[in-house]
Amino acid sequence: MAKINPKFTDELKKYGAFDTNACYNCGHCTAVCSLSTEDDSFPREMVRFSVLGLEENLKTSLKPWLCYYCGECSETCPRQAFPGELMMTLRRWLTAKYDWTKLSGLLYKSLPVSITFFLLVIAAVIGFGSYEKFDTEKIMHLGHYFEMFSIAGVFAFILLPNIIRMWYFTIVKAGVKVKFVTYFTKIWELIVHMFTQKRALGCDDNQLRWFEHLILVIGYLSLLFTTVVLDWFGTESTFIIWLGYAESAVIFIVTFIFMYERVKKSKELARHAHPSDWFFVIWLFLMGLTAFIVRIFIDADLIENNLWMYLIHLTVLVQWALIIVPFGKWTHFLYRSFAMYFDALKKIK
Amino acid sequence: MKSKIGVYICHCGGNISDYVDVNKVREAVKDIEGVEISVDTMFACADSSQKQISDDISKKQLDGLVVASCSPKLHYPTFSAVAERGGLNKYNYVHANIREQVSWAHSDDKIGATEKAIKIVKAAIVRVKESVSLKPIEVKAQKSIAVLGAGVAGMRAAKELADLGIQVYLIEREHFVGGRISQLDYLCGADETGKELVTHLYEKIHEHTNVTLFTGAEVIKKSGSIGNFKIQVKITPRFIKNECNRDELLKAIEVCPVEVDDDFNFNITKRKAIYRNYDSEYPQKPTIDNKNCTRCGECEKVCSSIDFSQKEEILDLTVGSILAATGFDPYQPKEGEFGWGIGNVVTLPQFRRIINMCDDKLIYKGKEIKDIAYIYCVGSRQVDGDNKYCSRYCCTATLYTSILTHKKYKDIHSFHFNRGIRTYGKQEVIYDEASRLGDIFLQSYEYDPPEVTKLNGKTNVKIEDILTSGSEIDVDADLVVLVTGMEPRNDCSIGDVLKIPKGRDRFYNEIHMKLRPVETVIDGVTIAGACQGPKNIMESMNSALSAAAKSYSIVNKGELSLEPIIAKVDKETCVWCGKCAEACPFDAISMIKENGKDIAEINLSVCKGCGMCLPVCESNSIDMDGFTDLEIESMISVLAGS
């Protein structure tokens, strides 16, 4: 038995939802959705749970992650209830629910808090620079260490516990019995979806967006590998240097296209962009761009006298690694692929 | 006996002649004695054929007419008119149906079909031979109309009739006008309150010299018939003098020691034995509730306008037509029905009164109300009960009420436990508005209604919500509102007096739902408003105006012409056994004494010619004009082939 909580939609609105109550349950959204199936039928069910405020049903559901937001449901909704945006909102809300630190929710709901966090990081980087007396070599060396430790730390203390929480909600609490061995036999699902996002191809006319997204993911992951493992800023290898240039260029070009689309609001998914969506795409753009310029400065022997450029890059990097990756939209990279993995586990009879 | 009969046999453009040999039929009847001409025609109903028939009648001086064609349902009126145009009494025309009864029914047997057609036409010929010319019955009609019920429908009809120059007697059982609408404040889709609407109508009829209003009045007897109804009206006294002192009367209400449930507020408050329902109520005079007054005399001490010497009066009125607009009662839930009786459960009419009484905070029984659960279709669309109908007004009224609560009070949450929202027509915008205000809709099937229980001091409503794939959903409500539908008046004695038939739903029945929606089988009695079935105000007004027009058409000429196909009694042979009077569904037969003998008499304006009295008469003393025994027997002998 589930109790109605009429106040829930007010809470959800803080995460971006619109006139959800306008829904009159016609089910048009579910009918037009090219990803919805008989077993995994959405978005109407999610709209209904939201209207009734059935938080438990929402928390234990993987369906928000199964939507790739083509926006067709919102375009055809006869009541302008924006079911597509509701699914997006639910992903934000779920991200906040999975996060044991509760910081995600705070950042999603309050723009001033987000900005304060970003400003604090700027102050910390400047403080760190002056503490190290703006010694370029030392700062860049420590910056490289920061990359490695932040990856390990964020993963161990934030992302891993949060994924375990997601598993707890959607598998254990949802009452799904999974044999231990199945976790291994189905691991392939996780890897495939993590690196290909092939489900997004199921959306109508989505090939171009899927391709842009795919090369962005590959570019991002390989740049991460190139900087952290191959030490792009410190290497002498011409191949690695050019590889890094190519990867960072891919990132800022694709993110520029994404930003352009969001400004033009040409696609349904871009019409209701939440601050967190903007942060994600802007910071990714800045990451690619600043890394690209820093490497140019290094190659042109300008970096010694222009440490400020590296400090800008470091600021962007720290904001990215400590705010957006653990608590922001970056997590969808994990939750989406784990959702496909857990969904595959659920479907084993 | 007719001797110059015209027989016309129609091909119906092949519909008949493809299966029936029309020439053979014509040949078979042309030499029958009395048949002047027999003709076959491609389309008897065509203008040229109609003209030919009427010309034949006048030129050849025909005294009888038979048309053999389609169903009389379709063209009986057509050829009756043709007969009259030719100068023939329309009762000397007989219709033979050789399409529905022959060609269409026996398309597999052309020879048999032709034989049957011949027999049917021959039967029509022998019947027309015996037919008698009849004249419509003319009766005088009183140019006055009694309108029963001074609710909005009754008042609207009264005003319309008065404007048309008819003397109207507006008879209201209560001591105040306005009926159910005066119990409502804001009305959906109107800028007026119910009270304002009532005041508006009252002022219109009050200034009209053609309307006489009786309050506290009831029709207790009716006799006579269309055009000349005699009704007896019982008027119960108000016990207040005509010239009265308002301030003293208010004091009298104050000092009255008797407190009873206030049915104007659906028993959620108390009133005194001397009372008025609201300040601006009409007539602007309180009344004394005789049933509960103890005659303690307290009011007389402070008020000189009280007059306990007033007596019940009986008034006799004669009217040409009666228009009944006696309204409805809200459904009264049974003990335990959707939690009725467990506290914090009220009906929608009660809730409207509560909203009316609470200004900035919605309070019921001392507690502030925030979460309201509405349960729809209580007493309507019943699975087990008798009320199978939808009460029409309630979905809209409930959503409108919910919008009112949002506008008037803060932080209200409304939950609508419905069985499909029916805000039909323009009222759909009300649903839209409520839905966008955040109201939550839950839906169940009729066999799985929501359950209301008391759980840990809270009133809990549980439903298997079909919009959430049948999951069990529940809510703790501060107040449960049962959306009760309309029922026929519990006290429907007026219907019994007037003998208005009731439908299976116990509302008064019209003759034909679509074609004759305000007339009843009692000639001269029309119905309007919610006494006929659930209606909203607009629909009530429509029917009130329609009934007014219909009643007006009965009385406006001062005389009426009635169908002469009625029963008649042979005074010689009748011995008054009374069986015919028992069989008559219209009360048209009564006993009279003539030449020292008890015999039956038929009221010409009440008899409908149904024929129920004929077969029960043991002395065979009743015959039917237009369908005499002679006509029917001669037809039988032809059809039986003897």
Q: Is B267 left (phi over 0), alpha (psi -120 to 50) or beta?
A: left
Q: How far is CA B581 from CA B336, B495, B597, B625, in A?
A: 47, 21, 17, 18
B475: nearest CB among A4, A24, A45:
A4
- Residue A265's pLDDT is 78
- Residue B277 has a CB neighbour count (10 Å cut-off) of 20
User: Are residues A332 and A215 both part of a single domain?
Assistant: yes
CA distance B139 to B607: 13
B57-104 per-position pLDDT tens digit: 999 999 999 999 999 988 999 999 999 999 999 999 999 999 999 999
- Residue B253's pLDDT is 93
Q: Which residues of B touch A2 (CB under 8 A)?
A: 471-474
Query: What DSSP element (H or E) covers B474?
Result: strand B471-477
Token digits for B144? Answer: 């006055």
Return the bridge partners of B219, or none: B233
A149-192 per-position pLDDT tens digit: 999 999 999 999 999 999 999 999 999 999 999 999 999 999 99
Contact B440 A24 (CB under 8 A): no
Helices within B308-424 (DSSP H only): 348-357, 394-408
CA distance B464 to B442: 9
B480-515 per-position pLDDT tens digit: 999 999 999 998 889 889 999 999 999 999 999 888
Give the mean pLDDT of B21-28.
Answer: 96
CA distance B465 to B470: 5
B308 backbone dihedrals φ, ψ, rounded to 5°: -80, 0
Choosing from A50, A69, A98, the residue where a domain stops is: A98
Residue A191 in contact with partner chain B when CB distance is under 8 A: no
Residue A116 in contact with partner chain B when CB distance is under 8 A: no
| Cα atoms in the Cβ-side hemisphere of radius 13 Å centred on A70 | 23
Give the mean pLDDT of B326-338.
Answer: 95
Q: Show the CA angle centred on residue B523, arms to residues B522 and B529, nearest 5°.
A: 70
Q: How far is CA B459 from CA B211, B372, B451, B479, B480, in A?
A: 51, 10, 10, 7, 8
Domain span including residue A85? 8-98
Please give the residue of chain B at the shortest CA–CA distance from A46: B468
Q: Which residues of A touch B464 (CB under 8 A)?
A: none
Minimal CA separation from A194 to chain B, in Å: 32
Give the mean pLDDT of A115-138.
Answer: 92
- Residue B242's pLDDT is 85
Choosing from A98, A126, A152, the residue where a domain stops is: A98
* Residue A323 DSSP code: I
User: Are residues A120 and A68 both part of a single domain?
Assistant: no
User: Are residues A68 and A165 both part of a single domain?
Assistant: no
More confident site: B214 or B562: B214
Q: Where do the domains of chain B lie, and which CATH numbers do they carry?
A: 5-134 (3.40.50), 144-236+312-327+489-555 (3.50.50.60), 246-302 (no CATH), 331-487 (3.50.50.60), 563-625 (3.30.70.20)
B567-625 per-position pLDDT tens digit: 999 999 999 999 999 999 888 999 999 988 999 999 988 888 999 999 999 999 999 99
Classify the complex by whether its ipTM is higher than 0.95, answering yes or no: no
Contact B476 A3 (CB under 8 A): yes
Token digits for B38? Answer: 């027999």
Among A17-21, B3-7, B209-213, B418-422, the least confident range: A17-21
> Could you tell me how many residues make up chain B?
642
A1: nearest CB among B413, B469, B472:
B472
For residue A326, being part of any structural domain is answered with yes
Give the mean pLDDT of B447-467.
Answer: 91
Give the mean pLDDT of B26-46.
Answer: 95
CA distance B69 to B22: 11
Q: Evaluate if residue B642 carries a pLDDT over 60.
A: no
Which stretches does DSSP call E strand in B93-239? 93-97, 137-140, 144-148, 167-171, 211-214, 217-225, 228-235
User: Are residues A14 and A138 both part of a single domain?
Assistant: no
User: Are residues A151 and A233 both part of a single domain?
Assistant: yes
Q: Evaluate if residue B288 carries a pLDDT over 60.
A: yes
Token digits for B512? Answer: 């034909």
For residue A21, being part of any structural domain is answered with yes
The crossing angle, in degrees rounded to 10, of helices B152-163 and B194-206 is 30
User: Are residues A132 and A186 both part of a single domain?
Assistant: yes
CA distance B122 to B28: 9
- Residue B628's pLDDT is 94
Give the mean pLDDT of B188-217.
Answer: 93
**Tally of domains within chain A:** 2
User: Are residues A214 and A84 both part of a single domain?
Assistant: no
- Residue B246's pLDDT is 85
Q: Are strands A2-3 and B471-477 parallel, antiparallel or unpaired?
A: parallel
Among A117-126, A168-177, A202-211, the least confident range: A202-211
Give the mean pLDDT of B26-41.
Answer: 95
- Map tokens 């739902």 to a residue: B513
- Residue A2's pLDDT is 87
A338 backbone dihedrals φ, ψ, rounded to 5°: -70, -35
Choosing from A98, A126, A153, the residue where a domain stops is: A98
For residue A83, being part of any structural domain is answered with yes
Q: Evaluate if residue B372 carries a pLDDT over 70.
A: yes
For residue A105, being part of any structural domain is answered with no
User: Are residues A160 and A208 both part of a single domain?
Assistant: yes
Query: What DSSP element (H or E) covers B62?
Result: none
User: Are residues A176 and A125 both part of a single domain?
Assistant: yes
User: Are residues A60 and A140 both part of a single domain?
Assistant: no
- Residue A349's pLDDT is 66
CA distance B84 to B76: 12
User: Are residues A173 and A226 both part of a single domain?
Assistant: yes
For residue A82, being part of any structural domain is answered with yes
For residue A1, being part of any structural domain is answered with no
Q: Evaluate if residue A270 carries a pLDDT over 80.
A: no
Contact A48 B468 (CB under 8 A): yes
- Residue A269's pLDDT is 75
Q: Show the CA angle centred on residue B589, arms to residues B585 and B590, nearest 5°.
A: 135
Residue B132, classified by CB atoms within 10 Å of its CB into exposed (0-12), middle (13-18) or buried (19+), is middle
Contact A4 B462 (CB under 8 A): no
- Residue A39's pLDDT is 85
Q: Which positions ≥6 away from A19 have C-beta within 8 Å?
A: A79, A80, A81, A82, B436
Residue A6 in contact with partner chain B when CB distance is under 8 A: yes
Q: Are strands B559-562 and B451-455 parallel, antiparallel or unpaired?
A: unpaired
Query: What DSSP element (H or E) covers B56?
Result: helix B47-60
Q: Which residues of B touch A24 (CB under 8 A)?
A: 435, 441
- Residue B491's pLDDT is 87
For residue A3, being part of any structural domain is answered with no
For residue A103, being part of any structural domain is answered with no
Contact A52 B438 (CB under 8 A): no
- Residue A133's pLDDT is 86
Q: Evaluate if residue A266 carries a pLDDT over 80.
A: no
CB B389 within 8 A of CB B532: no
Helices within chain A (DSSP H only): 8-13, 28-32, 44-52, 55-59, 63-66, 72-76, 83-98, 103-109, 111-131, 136-154, 160-167, 182-185, 187-196, 207-228, 238-264, 268-271, 275-299, 307-319, 325-327, 332-347
Residue A25 in contact with partner chain B when CB distance is under 8 A: yes
B435: nearest CB among A24, A48, A49:
A24
Return the bridge partners of B178, or none: B151
- Map tokens 């019921």 to a residue: B364
Q: Which residues of A touch B467 (CB under 8 A)?
A: 25, 48
B428-445 per-position pLDDT tens digit: 999 999 999 999 999 998
DSSP B332-358: -PPTTGGGTTSSSEEEHHHHHHHHHH-
Q: Which positions ≥6 away from B207 have C-beta within 8 Å?
A: none
Q: Which residues of B touch A21 (CB under 8 A)?
A: 435-440
Minimal CA separation from B410 to chain A, in Å: 14
Please give the residue of chain B at the shortest CA–CA distance from A5: B475
User: Are residues A230 and A329 both part of a single domain?
Assistant: yes
CB B90 within 8 A of CB B80: yes
